[in-house]
Structures are given as structure tokens and as C-alpha cells.
């Protein structure tokens, strides 16, 4: 699976998209994320594992003893996704432009 596939697969789940939306506000501990999505910590842990495996989030120790992990977004997969979407949009803009030219010539 390439990086874009991993990004899209991770974002395919509504709970993971909600986690991404929450992390747009800034780093958050797993417990706060679980509470916000109304999910048990073990259930959310599986979603966070998918987001980490897809490279969308980063986990780091948030306190002095290392027990609490803060999750934050990584920009790279979103930059790659945005670039791919820009290519798709450019394709459709070109197609619509060609169709407009065709219609105008047909008048």
C-alpha cells in the first residue's frame, strides 16, 4: 500500500476523521480523545493505531514519567493528499474547459 492509500484508508472511518478534526485544535491525550468521541480507551486505541500506521498522527510522551501520550497531526500525509486532490481538480477543470470550448464552437 502506498502512502496515499494508507492515508485514504485511515480516513475512511468516521471516528478517525473525528479524531483528526479534534487534533486540528492541537495535541491531545488519548483519554481526552476517547471522551470526545464517546468511546472506550481500548476501542479508541485501535483507531489511533491505524492513524499512526498511516502516518497521520504522532504520539509523544506528554508528562515527566512518560505514561501519558499526546497525539498530534503530522502534516506530510495531508500535504500529499492535497497535492493529489489538486491534480484531480485540475483534470476536471481541463475537461470542463474543453467541453465549454466545444459547446461554444458548436453554436
Average pLDDT, the chain: 90
Beta-strand runs (E) in the chain: 28-29, 57-61, 69-73
Helix (H, G, I), strand (E, B) or coil at 56: coil
Over the stretch 72-91, which tens digit does the pLDDT of each residue have?
A: 999 999 999 999 999 998 88
Which has more confidence, 97 or 1?
97
CATH number of the CATH domain containing 99? 1.10.10.10
Which has more confidence, 60 or 22?
22
Rg of the chain's alpha carbons, rounded to an integer?
A: 19
Query: What are the beta bridge partners of residue 60?
Result: 70
Q: Please state, in angstroms and rounded to a whole number, the distance separating the CA atoms of residues 33 and 35.
A: 5
What per-residue confidence (pLDDT) applies to 7? 94
Provide the domain limits for residue 13: 3-106
What per-residue confidence (pLDDT) applies to 49? 95
Q: What is the mean pLDDT of residues 14-25?
A: 97
Domain count, the chain: 1
Amino acid at each position: 500500500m502506498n502512502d496515499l492509500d494508507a492515508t485514504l484508508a485511515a480516513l475512511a472511518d468516521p471516528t478517525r476523521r473525528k479524531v483528526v478534526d479534534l487534533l486540528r485544535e492541537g495535541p491531545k491525550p488519548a483519554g481526552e480523545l476517547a471522551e470526545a468521541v464517546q468511546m472506550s480507551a481500548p476501542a479508541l486505541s485501535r483507531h489511533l493505531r491505524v492513524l499512526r500506521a498511516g502516518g497521520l498522527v504522532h504520539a509523544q510522551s506528554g508528562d515527566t514519567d512518560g505514561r501519558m501520550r499526546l497525539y498530534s497531526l503530522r502534516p506530510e500525509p495531508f500535504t500529499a493528499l492535497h497535492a493529489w486532490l489538486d491534480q484531480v481538480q485540475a483534470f476536471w477543470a481541463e475537461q470542463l474547459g474543453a467541453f465549454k470550448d466545444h459547446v461554444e464552437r458548436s453554436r
